[in-house]
Chains A and B, each alone.
Chain A
Amino acid sequence: MSTSTQTAAVAEAAGAKGKGRGKLSEGARAERRLGWLLCAPAVVIMIAVTAYPIGYAVYLSLQKYNLAFPNAVKFVGLSNYGAVLSSPYWWQAFKVTIIIMVVSVAIEFVLGMLLALLMYRTLLGRGTVRTSALIPYGIVTIAAAYSWQFAWTPSTGYLSALFNNSAPLSSTVSSLGVIILAEVWKTTPFVALLLLAGLSLVPEDLQKAAKVDGATAWQRFTRITLPLMKPAILVALLFRTLDAFRIFDNIYILTDGGNGTGSVSVLGYDNLFNALNLGIGSAISILIFICVAIIAVLFIKGFGTAAPGSNLLK
């Protein structure tokens, strides 16, 4: 019934709007004011912590500004961007980030789907699987990263010993493998839970009808389950893709960006705290922001009207 009071309120507001701007009823105007007032603290904090610093980063990125030489600040136009985009470090970090993003999200999606089907199908031990699947989600990323790092350290780790005392964290490709392993272990349960929620929206009757009509299990999965799960799949992929693009914690602990395994986030961090270069660091910040914006826009286009949160406006 809450919806009916709400639609009544909306209709009232819309009706009032139809009569012209100044003629809002006293009640509708009070409701507007209350709405804005209630949202104000959240909006102020969100803007203060994101929009304002990003604007400030744009300004900083146009300056030559190194904390080691705080008196030598001067306007240099777009040359910081030129310096970043012509640097092999940026492109190496960019390549590493994209590889980690694509490979880990692909694996997480497949494993997450299998885990979701497992959680959905099994009556026996359903609670146990769900409980244990939540452990990687809840565990502090840094703690899990140390567990993986120690496990792969020669003469300390059981995994290293298992694989002939190998030292995968000492070369680029195998380091990336360990980073992706740590990422997949930590986040597959999150993907599985989102997919499970989508899976439970697929009507059982439809499955049964298709089965009666002779569809195989695979046909039912690809023709019925997957299309009906599209919104859930897109949400899971959107959040995981953006998360994977922002990868920092696991790399910082596992390799600290050594052997050319640093992501763009590690590059940005190192630039600030090792090179103390605010100008270049800000240019990197803005470039990462643009990359994330492009990924997000591509996904949101894929959503159409089913973008996350749209249900809150209905």
Chain B
Amino acid sequence: MAAITNGKQKLGWGAANTLVVVIVAIPVLWIVSLSFKTASAITDPSFWPAHWTLANYTGILQSSQFIRPLINSIGIGLIATVIAVLFASMAAYAVARLAFPGKSVLIGMALLIAMFPAISLVTPMFNIERALGLFNTWFGLIIPYVAFGLPLGIYILAAFFREIPWELEKAAKMDGATPFQAFTKVIAPLAAPGMVTTAILVFLFCWNEFLFAISFTSTISSRTAPAALAFFSGSSQFSSPTGPISAAAVVITIPIIIFVMIFQRRIVAGLTSGAVKG
């Protein structure tokens, strides 16, 4: 680490740091500011509202057009995350610990799917989901989300499982632990951080996803929050939905920003694991 030698240099780096923080913050603060503007002040381009109002928030939080999609987002995200982490853990354990032919095929397949163009699936999946009755249901989104969460999960967890000192399991058994105890008391706590990291990244992916969400749903019964935002309309045909959209954007964004800040170390470790250790 190059030490910061003098005050001038320190100032330079400090200025660069500040610049980054400002560039990141401005678009976020802008949408927050818009969400507090009154309907008549939306056409005032000043950065901060002249009068602050909560009307946009009370409006969307009383509207099923937003609440229902929010529930869908949380439900679909959680179910897809649990399934993806479970299946990815099983596959990753096999990759990290077992000898079997086809391992490199699995790794290759995961890489291919990480690169897969989602739009290529929209047209055929639309027809398949209609035929199977999955169109406009939670599982119509959960299944593709699991499929696209798996490669990430397999990569992170396989890299993670390789680092676990598995001989501890043997040691625990020698000390009289049952295989179940050896797993729950020794291995599971060691594996948990990797699984949490995977769960965070898969959930973020599901929460963010937009193309499938607008393609495989048609009503608020299964539409997720980002998709619902794109279908917002004003309370009357003459009022622009800018305020409600901004408030909804803030509601779906702020929890994620807090979440990302709390788990930043894990997210960074997860994003970079497997990718660069090469």
Flag B91-132 by CB within 8 Å of A: 1 or 0 each.
Answer: 101111111111110111111111111111111111110000
- For A122, the chain B residues whose CB sits under 8 A away are 4, 13-14, 16-17
A8 to chain B, nearest CB (A): 9
Query: A35 contacts B87, CB within 8 Å?
Result: no
- For A38, the chain B residues whose CB sits under 8 A away are 90-91, 93-94, 98
Flag B149-162 by CB within 8 Å of A: 1 or 0 each.
Answer: 01100110011001
Say if the beta carbon of A131 comes within 8 Å of chain B: yes
Say if the beta carbon of A257 comes within 8 Å of chain B: no
Query: B229 contacts A312, CB within 8 Å?
Result: no
Cβ-neighbour of A201 out of B21, B148, B276 (below 8 A): B276
**Interface majority SS on A: helix, strand, loop or mixed?**
helix
21 contacts between A and B (CB under 8 A): A32-B100, A39-B90, A42-B106, A57-B121, A121-B13, A122-B14, A124-B4, A125-B13, A129-B20, A134-B268, A140-B253, A143-B31, A156-B42, A189-B24, A245-B117, A246-B119, A252-B214, A265-B117, A285-B122, A308-B274, A308-B275
Query: A146 contacts B155, CB within 8 Å?
Result: no
Cβ-neighbour of A193 out of B112, B146, B159, B272 (below 8 A): B272
Say if the beta carbon of B143 comes within 8 Å of chain A: yes
Query: B126 contacts A272, CB within 8 Å?
Result: yes
A100 to chain B, nearest CB (A): 14
- For A161, the chain B residues whose CB sits under 8 A away are 45-46
Task: Give 14 A-B pairs besides A144-B27, A248-B118 with Cβ atoms closer than 8 angstroms.
Answer: A28-B99, A31-B99, A36-B100, A42-B150, A49-B147, A53-B121, A53-B125, A124-B17, A125-B13, A160-B45, A245-B117, A273-B215, A281-B123, A289-B117
Query: A57 contacts B97, CB within 8 Å?
Result: no
Say if the beta carbon of A139 comes within 8 Å of chain B: yes
Cβ-neighbour of A140 out of B2, B120, B207 (below 8 A): B207
Query: B127 contacts A56, CB within 8 Å?
Result: yes
Query: B264 contacts A130, CB within 8 Å?
Result: yes
Cβ-neighbour of B124 out of A53, A143, A148, A196 (below 8 A): A53
Cβ-neighbour of A285 out of B124, B143, B147, B226 (below 8 A): B124
- For A197, the chain B residues whose CB sits under 8 A away are 272, 275-276
How many residues of chain A are within 8 Å of chain B by beta carbon?
A: 114
Known contacts A34-B94, A43-B109, A54-B124; is A125 also within 8 Å of B17 by CB?
yes
Query: A41 contacts B103, CB within 8 Å?
Result: no
A66 to chain B, nearest CB (A): 12
Query: B226 contacts A142, CB within 8 Å?
Result: yes
Query: A155 contacts B113, CB within 8 Å?
Result: no
Stretch from A9-17, A81-89, A168-176 that touches the partner: A9-17
Known contacts A1-B167, A150-B31; is A35 also within 8 Å of B94 by CB?
yes
Say if the beta carbon of A72 comes within 8 Å of chain B: no
Say if the beta carbon of B211 comes within 8 Å of chain A: yes
Stretch from B53-61, B177-185, B254-262 that touches the partner: B254-262
* Complex-state Cα separation, A309 to B164, whole angstroms: 18
Query: A134 contacts B264, CB within 8 Å?
Result: yes
Closest 9 CB pairs of A and B: A35-B100, A49-B147, A143-B249, A138-B260, A197-B272, A161-B45, A53-B124, A281-B123, A38-B94
Query: A296 contacts B115, CB within 8 Å?
Result: yes
Query: B14 contacts A248, CB within 8 Å?
Result: no
* Complex-state Cα separation, A301 to B21, whole angstroms: 37
B81 to chain A, nearest CB (A): 14
Query: A143 contacts B155, CB within 8 Å?
Result: no
- For A155, the chain B residues whose CB sits under 8 A away are 43, 45
Cβ-neighbour of A312 out of B99, B112, B158 (below 8 A): B158
Query: A252 contacts B117, CB within 8 Å?
Result: no
- For B45, the chain A residues whose CB sits under 8 A away are 155-158, 160-161
